[in-house]
Amino acid sequence: MYVCLCQGVTDGQIRDAIYEGCCSYRDVRETLSVGTQCGKCACLAKQVVRETLNEVQIAQGAAYSAEFVAA
């Protein structure tokens, strides 16, 4: 789904940027230029960033807890 029409940025691209090391909306904005034109997409872009960061944290927490239990 397109999040930023001005720059042609999709939610998948935002997620990929986070998986590749972006750890905030600011990082994503600097990497993809999302929200730098009209700004109408900023709320949705921030939501995608927030949700993806939460998913990454949960996945990392599950990996650590599974590793801890196995040890």
Residue whose pair of structure tokens reads 């029409």 in the numeric block = 5
* The two three-digit tokens of residue 46, written as one number: 């921030």
The residue-averaged pLDDT of 34-48 equals 96
pTM of the predicted structure, to 2 decimals: 0.84
pLDDT at 66 over 50: no
Residue 17 and residue 32 in contact, taking contact as beta carbons nearer than 8 Å:
yes
- Between CA 41 and CA 54 the distance in angstroms is 20
The CATH H-level superfamily of 2-70 is BFD-like [2Fe-2S]-binding domain (1.10.10.1100)
**Residues contacting 15, CB < 8 A, separation 6+:** 48, 52
* Side chain identity, residue 23: C
| pLDDT surpasses 80 at 67 | no
